A and B are shown apart, each in its own frame.
Chain A
């Protein structure tokens, strides 16, 4: 069975699916990703499906599961690069990619992950660099 590689780029895990996955390969990817999220502490997962010429109900369900699993493991998943024909087919198939964030390309996906993180933890940056103008520390003695 072939395996889909998972790359770590900074704080993000990047999965670029380049092969026509068998169902077993798709399930394996789900497990591998969950393990890598925990092992690396990454808060973002980007799944690039540019190379996929179809997404059927099995792969669609896998993408939804990955999004839910990563959420539980404190990571945000963004699916990027869906082809127009794939999007049209998915809708007609009746698949709603529940809970999945999407972006047009990897770059926008990375912005989305960063934004989602910033919304959730607005003071992360200030705490991290310990700057004096932190609103939390200056307003309350």
Chain B
């Protein structure tokens, strides 16, 4: 599956079901391998993607993801954008607190995912949906 993936193109995947979350993991893994992230960094990025894709599905009511390689002139990395048009997050600080959950989970999804990536940006507001961008750089 790794062979032949086009790193110059962003890859999109809808998140509408449980199986789509699995597909997001597989897509991120493929791009991370192709971008030559180390095994630990691949594992961290795929784990973060799994948490965020699940959030998109469970809290955002579904949405989509775009996976692309990026280059800052010094290093190559993988960027993932998660977007949904769900209710948005009212209290972002609270949502980023370890252990806080409104969905009956462990409350580690958002806060844990942020620790696993190098860059984490979140754009959300009540009624605005949520857009989360993460980047993991190759070392």
Contact with B along A80-92 (1 / 0, CB 8 A): 0001111011001
- 16 A-B pairs within 8 Å (CB atoms) are namely A20-B25, A22-B18, A53-B43, A56-B50, A83-B43, A85-B39, A85-B40, A86-B43, A88-B43, A89-B43, A89-B44, A89-B47, A92-B115, A93-B112, A93-B113, A93-B115
Q: Mark B89-118, 1 if CB is under 8 A from A, else 0.
A: 000000000100000011011011101100
Chain A residues with a Cβ under 8 A of chain B: 20-24, 53-58, 60-61, 83-86, 88-89, 92-95
Instruction: State whether the Cβ of B79 lies closer than 8 Å to any Cβ in chain A.
Output: no
A23 touching B21 in the complex, CB below 8 Å, given contacts A54-B50, A85-B39, A88-B40: yes
Interface size on B, residues (CB 8 A): 27
A54-B43, A89-B116 are contacts. A22–B108 as well, Cβ < 8 Å?
Answer: no
Would you call A94 and B22 a contact (CB within 8 A)?
Answer: no
Secondary structure call for the B interface: helix
Add 6 more A-B contacts to A53-B29, A57-B112 (CB < 8 A). Answer: A57-B51, A57-B108, A58-B105, A83-B43, A88-B40, A93-B115
Cross-chain contact of A94 among B29, B50, B112 (Cβ < 8 A): B112
Q: In the complex, A22 Cα to B78 Cα: how many Å?
A: 23
Residues of B participating in the A interface, judged by any CB pair closer than 8 Å: 18-19, 21-22, 25-26, 29, 39-40, 42-44, 46-47, 50-51, 54, 98, 105-106, 108-109, 111-113, 115-116
A23 to B105, CA, bound (A): 12
Closest to B25 in A: A20
CB-nearest residue of chain B to A95: B108
How many angstroms between the C-alpha atoms of A58 and B22 in the bound complex? 12
Say whether, besides A20-B22, A53-B29, A56-B50, A93 and B40 are in contact (CB < 8 Å): no
From A21, A83, A85, A95, B112 is in contact (CB under 8 Å) with A95
The smallest beta-carbon distance between B64 and chain A, in angstroms, is: 18
Distance between B2 CB and nearest chain A CB, rounded to angstroms: 13
